[in-house]
Amino acid sequence: MKLLHLDSSILGDSSASRQLSHAVVDAWQAVEPDVRVIYRDLASDALGHLSAASLVAAGTPAELRDAAQRHEAELSESTLDEFLAADAIVIGAPMYNFALPSQLKAWIDRITVAGKTFSYTENGPQGLAGSKKVVIVSTSGGVHAGQPSGAAHEDYLKFVLGFVGISDIQVVRAEGLAYGEEPRAAAMKAAEQQVGELFAIA
Ligand SMILES: Cc1cc2nc3c(=O)[nH]c(=O)nc-3n(C[C@H](O)[C@H](O)[C@H](O)COP(=O)(O)O)c2cc1C
């Protein structure tokens, strides 16, 4: 089984989502030893934003692309292929300014591709990305789950994954992390328990 592990926190070693996403991957490997992990750090190895140049590169026949267009097209294609090949995905998704990190949004922009991961039919949009399992690790300084303030964060991520056809989505959430040392420790402990429950190793 191929497991794509994404982190997007800009907070390095003090990142809550990195700690928890690694706990999820460790737990997954403990119950399924044949898991092959592909790790992508979207913060330290950031994808460029989808741009006019990206679209022009994609629309230019391979043999006519210049070096910059080849690089751009390769970036889009390899990111999409890596996503499509994954059986499972663990996404570290911190909240920054009530939204996902722009680095994670840049990844979403590369994998949400008409004709590849979704299509529009006469009955409306159809997801094409197959039966992947996804675990979202959602972290935030405040408490936003189920609130309008969480719409552009966890809710958006769930929506866009659903749009490309993924329905098996679990969330490990640590929220209220900015409320002080004790609440942070309690939130992290609760999230680690969620990981244990998810993989029945609590
Ligand atoms: C640039 C930045 C913006 C943030 N914006 C918000 C926010 O809008 N709402 C919130 O509840 N927490 C916010 N936080 C707090 C983070 O969500 C919190 O620190 C969380 O642990 C981030 O996950 P990470 O540690 O994996 O990076 C922000 C933190 C940073 C660094």
Residue-wise pLDDT tens digits, 61-75: 999 999 999 999 999
* Cβ of 17 below 6 Å from ligand 1: yes
Give how many domains the chain has, as a whole number: 1
* Cβ of 142 below 6 Å from ligand 1: yes
Query: Residue 202: pLDDT band by 50, 70, 90 thresholds?
Result: very low
Q: Angle 159-43-148 (CA atoms, 0-180°, nearest 5)?
A: 35
Cα(142) to ligand 1 centroid in Å equals: 8
Distance CA 50, CA 41 (A): 18
For residue 101, what is the domain's CATH number? 3.40.50.360
Ligand 1 nearest atom to the CA of residue 19, by list position: 26
2-59: pLDDT as tens digits:
999 999 999 999 999 999 999 999 999 999 989 999 999 999 999 999 999 999 999 9
* Cβ of 8 below 6 Å from ligand 1: no
Domain assignment of residue 186, given as a range: 2-198
* Cβ of 95 below 6 Å from ligand 1: yes
pTM (whole model) above 0.85? yes
Closest by Cα among 117, 40, 115, 127 to 75: 40
* Cβ of 178 below 6 Å from ligand 1: yes
